[in-house]
Every structure is written in C-alpha cells, then in structure tokens.
Amino acid sequence: MRITALSGGVGGARMLRGLASIETVDMTAVVNVGDDDVIYGLHVAPDLDTVTYTMADVHSNARGWGRTDETWHVMEELDRFPFDSTFRLGDRDLALNLYRTTRMARGATLADVTSEICKVFGIEAAVLPVTDDPVRTKLFVGDTWLDFQDYFVRRRHADTVTDVRFAYVDDARPAPGVIRSLSSSDAVVIGPSNPILSIWPILAVPGVREAMVGKRVMAVSPLIGGSAVKGPLADLLPSLGYSTDTEGIVRSYGDLLTDLVVHTGDEPSRPVTPAIHVTDTLIPDRDSAARLAREMISWLE
C-alpha cells in the first residue's frame, strides 16, 4: 500500500516510525516547516529534525526534542556572554544545522538537504519538507503577532492564542514530489500531531489540500481523555473556538477526514462524519507505533 503521511512534532514522527516498519507499506513523509527559523545564524528545522532523529532512533525521549547522548559545550560557552541562548541546541544538533545551512547557502534546496541528511542517518523512507519556500507560523497573542519559536520556546507556550496565520504561504509551492506522492497514494495518514501547529501549515501550502480531494484521509487524534500527550493543544483548541474532545479534532480538520482514530474511551458522544476507529493511541516506543500502524493499515485496506 502506498501511503503519504503528514507529520509534525513528536507524535507524528513516532507514527512515521511505525509505518516505516511495515514491509508492505511504501511510505512518503511530508513534514511541516512552519516552525523553521534562523537561530544563531543557522537554518533550524525542528519538525524535520524530530522526524529524522525519531526514525533513526536517536531522538531524546527524556527531553522531547534533540538527540540522545548529547553534549552542550557550545551552549555552555555561549552562556558566558551577554547573549540570548534560550533556544538550546546540543553539539550534535548544531552540527546537523551547520551542514543544512552551509548546503543551502551554496544553492541546495531544503528538500535536497533533507534527503542527504536522511541518507546519513540510514532512513530509507522518503522524507520531504512540504515546501522549499519559507512558510512561517505566526500566533496572535494579546495585541501582537509572535513568531512560532518566540511563542513556543522563549515564552514556553504560556500565552493565550486567539489567531494563527502562515506568513509567506501564498507564494509557497509544494516541494518536488509532494503533489505526486499525494496524488498517487492509496491513502493519506496524519499521525497524532497538533492539527493547528503541525498540520495546518502543511495544508495551507497551495495545492496540498486540493491533491487530497477524493482520498482516504485517516488522522490519529492527538488527544487522550481531553488532554494532549505533549504540547499546548489542549489550550489552543478552546482559545481558537474548538472543544477539547474528538468533535473538536474533527472540526479542526474541516471536511478533510474520512477516518479518525481515537484512544479507547474517547469515542464521540454523538455521530460524526468521519468513520471512528478506537484503539490504544499512545505510542511511546517503536513496538507500540508499529502495532498502531498495522491497525491503521488494516482499517484502510
């Protein structure tokens, strides 16, 4: 079965790891770039790196970001200076971002560099940024628009968000291979990613949502008992007018979904349009992710 998987954040990356373990699945991952930013002069792509590290089994589960067995010599040295080092990048993480930035400065696209990085990490599945063009998630807090990393890292996503937009998206074009993968797939799968921060930026790129029309589109709800396993989703949903339950997740995707996978006990209280599948959606390790992926494929066949 040919699957295109949309991903952002840890939950989505774990789902990719599960799908990649199934021999009968030909998977292409399309990854959010709305979180990308220039940090310390480097092009940092947090969701692409989380996907890379998770699929390569070097992601730090303890921190929820970055590499395992990381060292912090550069950050420790930066801390000696009058310098904002709130955004922490370990030494190995810095090396990857140095490589990405140098290659892009010499003319390589983000998709080119992502392919090169995945090859170094031994990842066989195709991993594509949704676009090579800049798309930046902005969040309206109080009376001002914040860059994503200001909201998420520097302010620890403590602010109430009342609007979201994606800067430069109207001028963005899907990266090579994205539309072809969506159009030729038997189904599109969305992992337990934050719909607002991880998936909306992907769908906002012109041509992406349109390429999914008429497809089976199955998402995994990122909520368990009304709470997010990780991140600010449980606060974002009500502040943007959505309920913190299965019905809220359905509404956040509009009319996109044909199927939704929810955690045991999270069945909607009334009928909803997408088909509902119920199972254990908590996937902290490779085995549990593979189990969920097999269940999802069985429902799609």
Claim: this prediction has a pTM higher than 0.85: yes
Residue 56, classified by CB atoms within 10 Å of its CB into exposed (0-12), middle (13-18) or buried (19+), is middle
The domain total for the chain is 1
Give the pLDDT score at 295: 97
CATH of the domain at 47: 3.40.50.10680
pLDDT at residue 56, rounded to an integer: 96
pLDDT for res 60: 93
Domain that holds residue 188: 2-300
Q: Say which amino acid occupies 195.
A: P
Q: How many CA atoms does the CB half-sphere of 188 hold within 13 Å?
A: 28
Query: Looking at residue 273, what is its pLDDT?
Result: 87
Provide DSSP, 136-148: EEEEEETTEEEEH
Cα-Cα end-to-end distance for the chain: 8
pLDDT, residue 268, reads 86
Q: Which of 257, 294, 300, 301 is nearest to 279 (CA)?
A: 294
User: Partners of 260 in the beta sheet?
Assistant: 219, 276
Chain centre distance of CA 35: 9
Structure-token pair, residue 43: 């092009």
Task: Report pLDDT for 270.
Answer: 79
User: Residue 141 contacts by C-beta under 8 Å, 6 or more apart in sequence?
Assistant: 151, 159, 160, 161, 162
Tell me the two tokens of residue 34: 């709305």
pLDDT reported for residue 33: 98
Q: How far apart are CA 227 and CA 21, in angstroms?
A: 28
Q: How high is the pLDDT of residue 64? A: 86
Alpha helices in the chain (DSSP H): 9-20, 46-55, 73-78, 91-105, 110-120, 148-149, 178-184, 200-204, 208-211, 233-239, 246-252, 286-300
> At 4, is the secondary structure helix, strand, or coil?
strand
**Amino acid residing at 10:** V
- pLDDT per residue of the chain (301 residues) written in tens, 0 to 9: 999 999 998 999 999 999 999 999 999 999 999 999 999 999 999 999 999 999 999 999 888 889 999 999 999 999 999 999 999 999 999 999 999 999 999 999 999 999 999 999 999 999 999 999 999 999 999 999 999 999 999 999 999 999 999 999 999 999 999 999 999 999 999 999 999 999 999 999 999 999 999 999 999 999 999 888 888 999 999 999 999 999 999 999 999 999 999 999 998 877 778 999 999 999 999 999 999 999 999 999 8
